[in-house]
């Protein structure tokens, strides 16, 4: 009996130890799985921001074969694709319009055609819902909130609670176009169009106005200058990206120039900011507004006439300080002391309207000549009462 009891106890202890070992293994496995999940999420997040830069280029050939065209985001247009690139949305903040489309292969039988049509419309619907619900990283509100015209009640914006049902109704009226892709296959493009609300820019300005004013106060920058620059750079598009200029976000920060300068000046970090940083509207605006102040302090500190200093800063923001040097002295470098002193005297004492006209006329780059005019016009039209 005693031996039997000892055997039973040993068996029980063995089972307990085994269970403990199994639990520890399970716990270890769970921790590894969670750790793997976290790493996967971090990688996915990093890839998301990386893809904002390279996604369209990485898959350019695939997109062109599918669509017979290559469309990518610009500073004023937010372009988004679904996972397999069969659905695409284009939000044009400058033209006040949205286009959402899908492509499917043309088929022959009636049943297959019906199936492909339903598939295409489902893609369009999902893509439309996706962009109408996508949120920015500052206000955590939809980027397009109160900005998309309801196609039925045209004087009203689409409300969040209406999105699914309206998307269902809108896709019923999708237009179709047949084309032959690069592989010689017939494709059908289904597309719907929507308009942005009149003066939708005002809605986006109001969303970010308090943040802009906060940083303008912090960096001693006139809010109407900052707002007109943002308007001109991106139409307040938080998804703005210029691949050719490698510029990000609403203030179109170039990482290796203004980005690197402000990363150190504001945050004491060496090196270029990441695309994730620059897609964050708050970080982007602090860097952009801080850079306006940096230009004032480091490039034009001797210009005490505030308005004239802003004309020089606006030109520098787009074309660099050399654009002003060239307009005022005829040279970009190796400027004699005499010419430099004359430039500074003119920048301080010339009538502000006359200086503006001179810069607008004599800056050698057409883009910067247009830029200062557009910014000035927007300061006068949209932001003069701020």
pLDDT digits (tens, 9 = 90+) for 86-135: 999 999 999 999 999 999 999 888 899 999 999 999 999 999 999 999 99
Task: Judge whether 99 and 213 are in contact, CB under 8 Å.
Answer: no
* pLDDT over 90 at 29, yes or no: no
Token pair of 312, please?
């020089």
pLDDT in the model for residue 61: 86
In the predicted structure, residue 35 carries a pLDDT above the cut 90? no
pLDDT average, residue stretch 147-153? 95
Q: Which residues pair with 77 in a beta bridge?
A: 74, 92
Is CATH 3.30.1320.10 the classification given to domain 202-381? no
**pLDDT band of 40, cuts 50, 70, 90:** very low
**Segment 247-306, tens digit of pLDDT:** 999 999 999 999 999 999 999 999 999 988 999 999 999 999 999 999 999 999 999 999
Using only C-alpha atoms, the chain has a radius of gyration, in whole angstroms, of 29
Closest listed residue to residue 89, CA positions, set 133, 44, 137: 133
pLDDT at 245: 87
Mean pLDDT confidence for 55-81: 88
Residue 9: pLDDT band with limits 50, 70, 90? low
Average pLDDT, the chain: 88
* pLDDT in the model for residue 88: 97
- Distance CA(48)–CA(63), nearest Å, equals 18
Secondary structure class of 154 (helix, strand, coil): coil
Residue 186 is inside which H or E element, if any? Answer: strand 186-195
Domain residue ranges of the chain, discontinuous segments joined by +? 60-198, 202-381
What's the pLDDT at 127? 97
pLDDT tens-place string over residues 161-199: 999 999 999 999 999 999 998 888 899 999 999 999 999
**Which has the closest alpha carbon to 324: 288, 285, 350, 356?**
356
- pTM of full prediction above 0.85: no
Question: How much is the pLDDT for 34?
Answer: 41
As a whole number of angstroms, the distance between CA 309 and CA 322 comes to 15
Angle at 238 between CA 63 and CA 100, to 5 degrees: 40
How much is the average pLDDT of 356-367?
97
Cβ atoms of 285 and 212 within 8 Å: the answer is yes
pLDDT of residue 43: 44
Confidence of residue 314 (pLDDT cuts 50, 70, 90): very high
């Amino acid at each position: 009996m005693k031996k039997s009891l000892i055997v039973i106890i040993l068996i029980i202890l063995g089972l307990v130890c085994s269970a403990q070992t199994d639990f520890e293994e399970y716990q270890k496995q769970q921790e590894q799985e969670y750790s793997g999940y976290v790493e996967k999420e971090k990688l996915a997040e990093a890839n998301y921001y990386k893809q904002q830069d390279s996604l369209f280029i990485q898959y350019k050939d695939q997109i062109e074969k599918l669509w017979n065209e290559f469309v990518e985001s610009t500073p004023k247009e937010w372009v988004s694709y679904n996972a397999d690139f069969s659905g695409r949305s284009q939000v044009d903040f400058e033209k006040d319009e949205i286009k959402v489309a899908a492509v499917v292969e043309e088929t022959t039988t009636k049943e297959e055609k019906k199936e492909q049509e339903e598939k295409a419309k489902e893609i369009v619907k999902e893509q439309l819902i996706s962009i109408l619900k996508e949120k920015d990283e500052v206000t955590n509100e939809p980027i397009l909130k109160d900005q998309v015209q309801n196609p039925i009640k045209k004087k009203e914006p689409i409300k969040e609670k209406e999105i699914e049902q309206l998307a269902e109704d809108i896709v019923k009226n999708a237009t179709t176009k047949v084309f032959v892709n690069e592989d010689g296959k017939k494709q059908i493009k289904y597309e719907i169009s929507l308009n942005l609300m009149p003066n939708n820019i005002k809605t986006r300005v109001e969303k970010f106005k308090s943040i802009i004013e906060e940083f303008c106060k912090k960096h001693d920058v006139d809010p109407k200058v900052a707002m007109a620059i943002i308007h001109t750079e991106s139409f307040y598009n938080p998804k703005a990206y210029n691949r050719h200029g490698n510029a990000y976000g609403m203030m179109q920060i170039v990482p290796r120039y203004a980005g690197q300068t402000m990363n150190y000046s504001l945050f004491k970090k060496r090196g270029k900011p990441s695309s994730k940083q620059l897609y964050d509207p708050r970080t982007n605006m602090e860097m952009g507004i801080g850079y306006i102040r940096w230009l004032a302090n480091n490039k034009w500190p001797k210009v005490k006439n505030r308005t004239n200093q802003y004309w020089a800063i606006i030109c520098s923001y787009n074309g660099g300080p050399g654009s002003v040097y060239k307009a005022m002295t005829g040279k970009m470098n190796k400027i004699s002391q005499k010419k430099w002193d004359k430039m500074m005297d003119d920048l301080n004492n010339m009538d502000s309207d006359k200086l503006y006209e001179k810069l607008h006329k004599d800056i050698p780059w057409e883009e910067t000549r247009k830029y200062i005019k557009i910014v000035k016009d927007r300061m006068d039209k949209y932001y003069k009462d701020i």
